[in-house]
Structure 1
Amino acid sequence: SAVPEKGRAQEPELFLAGPALGEALPHVMPTLRACLQPSRDPQMRLKLFSILSTVLLRASDTINSQGYLEMVTKDILAPNLQWHAGRTAAAIRTAAVSCLWALTSSEVLSAKQIRDVQETLMPQVLTTLEEDSQMTRLISCRIINTFLKTLGGMIDPDKLIKIYPELLKRLDDVSNDVRMAAASTLVTWLQCVKHADGKAYYQSSVQYLYRELLVHLDDPESAVQDAVLEVLKEGSALFPDLLVRETEAVIHKHRSATYCEQLLQHVQAVPATQ
């Protein structure tokens, strides 16, 4: 169904409402929740996401102060991040990811609130790393980075282990921006492992990560090589002997040994994480 004429008349008022928007939320939010369900008209949902983004940009005056965060994450964003075929459906997922980024990057939410959002939406965000839209993949990397920075070591080990393979795939992305964002997020992932209990549980995963990163350390793009070197340096204190063995096994295959040599020098200079 099309957007009601009444809705069209009210839309500019919503955009101009400013601080008063918070007062209108008891009427606005239930309407947005009802109209943004996957069963509703896709074109209408796409248009209404622009209104939601306006609400989220004023999160301190709106959803945070009024207690609508759970409604936004569970009832609106989660169902719209689910995959459905078609260009409009893809555009809706991009809009939903953009709204989530506006929310998580606003510095309005507390660490606990971000952890709650992560608990609800991390699985969906991991799937949006595969979207055709470069912008969606880039924003998704940034959202995951924010989630991980907030969590630190406070994440279930099995859930943490599921994240890094999806980020590794993005190191093969056609976009260097996405590749750099994925590398940055892998640094944060390794920091989470550092702060987690029972590091031995992660050894096989980190070894696999070392091997894959060493392949990208020989990338044709020097900026990517630099970024990957930083990831390996970050992870080197976890299992340094293991990394030395993996590096020495491939150094002769690289076009230049420079990056491998820099990595080995770094490992020798930094004490292992206890």
Structure 2
Amino acid sequence: MEENGGDSQDLYQEHVGPLLEWLAGSHHDWTVYSTELLQFDVLITHAGPALGTALPHLIPILSSCLQPARDPQMRLKLFSALSRVLLRAKETLDSQGQFHSYLDTVIKDILVPNLQWHAGRTAAAIRTAAVSCLWALLSSEVLSATQIQDVQQTLMAPVLTALEEDSQTTRLTSCRIISVFLKTSGGATDPDKFIKIYPELLKRLDDVSNDVRLAAASALVTWLQCITKDAGKSQSQSDIQYLYRELLVYLDDAESTVQDAVLEVLIAGSVLFPDLLVTETEAVMHKHRSPAYCERLLQHIQTRPPAQ
């Protein structure tokens, strides 16, 4: 059995380039019903490591077929195939270590146009597919920290917008992407842009989905950790005070998992202005159905060693 797998890989290695070159001749006319699209889909799904040798043919076809003017159903099918190979990018697209040369095209020519808002359900499905592709790319571990920072410069704004999508999958994935962006940049973002991130995450604490609420809380922890590394925390005192007040409301949430997650956010944020947080907590404690979470928070702040 193993030999067959090896044989088919040799076949792909030998023929993937010429096959893609042949398919490239017709791709401008493809729709979801084109036989060539089916052949292309099978090829990229099964070619494995051979894809890494075929990037000069592969990426231009994808870039052309994924433009917003092209057949929407075809774009959905191609995004699905692209997500699958991006998840295994080390063994597929980056098998020769050359994918970085095409990263700019993937981000700016493929993802950016497809993340832009257009009316309609199919357009929304395409945005979900584009967000999933970005998540697959970030999860594949083929990007260096510097490359992720470059991607963030281009895509943070459309991903923040995607937090408002009707699709729960899109909102959840967007929260996770923002966490990765923040962890990698460590707060090294333009301060004006950086401060606009937390209100968008805060809105998601009201999400209908608990998974999204928890992912948003997790991203807020990372956001606060970025401030603790940043010397500019004093400029953000009014923002942090507002964030403390809003989070304390969710410390009395009906869902205990959300209460636990928000307690983690407040603990992460307590290093910034502990005295202020104590004042804010003591002011609302009596309004909560149970003071237990407020007490745990105050206890944590009081037992922390003073800041050096």
Say whether residues 1:48 and 2:81 are aligned partners.
Answer: no
Q: Kindly state the Cα deviation for residue 157 of structure 1 after the two structures are TM-superposed.
A: 1.3
5+ residue gaps, structure 2: 1-29
Q: Could you tell me how far apart the structure 1 residues matched to 2:210 and 2:307 are?
A: 31
After TM superposition, give the deviation of residue 55 of structure 1 in Å: 3.2
Residue range with higher mean Cα deviation, 138-147 or 52-61: 52-61
Q: Is the 8 A contact 1:153 1:195 kept in 2?
A: yes
State the AA in 1 paired with 2:200.
Answer: E
d(CA) in 2 for partners of 1:16, 1:52: 12
- Letter of the 1:62 partner, please give it: L
Cα contact 1:239–1:272 (8 A) shared by 2: no
1:135 maps to what in 2?
169
CA offset at residue 7 of structure 1? 2.6
Q: 3-state DSSP class of the match of 1:39?
A: coil
Deviations 1:53-95 (A, max 9, x none): 2331232342562311111111111111111111111110110
2:98 is aligned to: 65
Q: Considering only aligned residues, what root-mean-square deviation do their CA atoms show, in Å?
A: 1.4
- Who is 1:260 aligned against? 294
Task: Find the partner of 1:125 among 159, 164, 168.
Answer: 159
Q: Which amino acid aligns with 2:275?
A: D
**Cα drift, residue 272 of structure 1:** 5.0
- How far off its partner does 1:12 sit? 0.9
Q: CA–CA distance in 2 between the matches of 1:36 and 1:220?
A: 44
- Which aligned runs of 4 or more in structure 1 are off by greater than 6 angstroms? none
The aligned amino acid for 2:93 is: T
C-alpha deviation, 1:23, in angstroms: 1.6
Residue deviations 1:188-213 (CA, integer Å, cap 9, x gap): 00000001122111111111100000
CA contact (8 A) 2:31 2:37 kept: no
Give the letter for the 2:98 counterpart. S
Does the aligned pair in 2 maintain the 1:172–1:179 contact within 8 Å?
yes
Number of aligned pairs? 274
Tell me whether 1:98 sits opposite 2:128 in the alignment.
no
In 2, Cα distance between the equivalents of 1:92 and 1:10?
Answer: 19
1:146-225 alignment runs, 5 A limit: 146-225=180-259
- Partner SS for 1:155: coil
Mapped to 2, the partners of 1:83 and 1:219 lie a distance apart of 33
Map of 1:31 onto structure 2: 61
Q: Does 1:244 align with 2:304?
A: no
Could you tell me the TM-score, scaled by structure 1's length? 0.96
Are the counterparts in 2 of residues 240 and 272 from structure 1 also a CA contact under 8 Å? no
- In 1, the alpha carbon distance for the partners of 2:213 and 2:251 equals 13
Query: For each residue in 1:111-160, what CA deviation from the matched residue of structure 2 results, as whole angstroms up to 9, or x when unmatched?
Result: 00110111110000001111111111111100000111111131221111
Per-residue CA shift, 1:2-49, capped at 9, x if unaligned? 243323223212211010011222111101111111121211111111
Give the greater-gyration-radius structure (CA): 2
CA distance in structure 1 between the aligned counterparts of 2:193 and 2:164, rounded to whole angstroms: 18
Contact 2:41–2:78 at 8 Å: present in 1 too? no
TM-score, normalization by structure 2: 0.86
Paired AA for residue 55 in structure 2: L
Structure 1 portions without partners, runs of 5+: none
* 1:2 aligned partner: 31
On the 8 A contact 2:65/2:75 being kept in 1, the answer is: yes
Looking at structure 2, the residues matched to 109 and 31 of structure 1 have their Cα atoms a distance apart, in angstroms, of 22
Q: Which moved more, 1:125-134 or 1:41-50?
A: 41-50
Q: Residues 146 and 233 from structure 1, CA distance in 2 versus in 1: closer, same or farther, beyond 3 angstroms? A: same
Change (3 A) 1:30 1:273: farther
**Which whole-Å CA distance do the structure 2 matches of 1:109 and 1:207 have between them?**
36
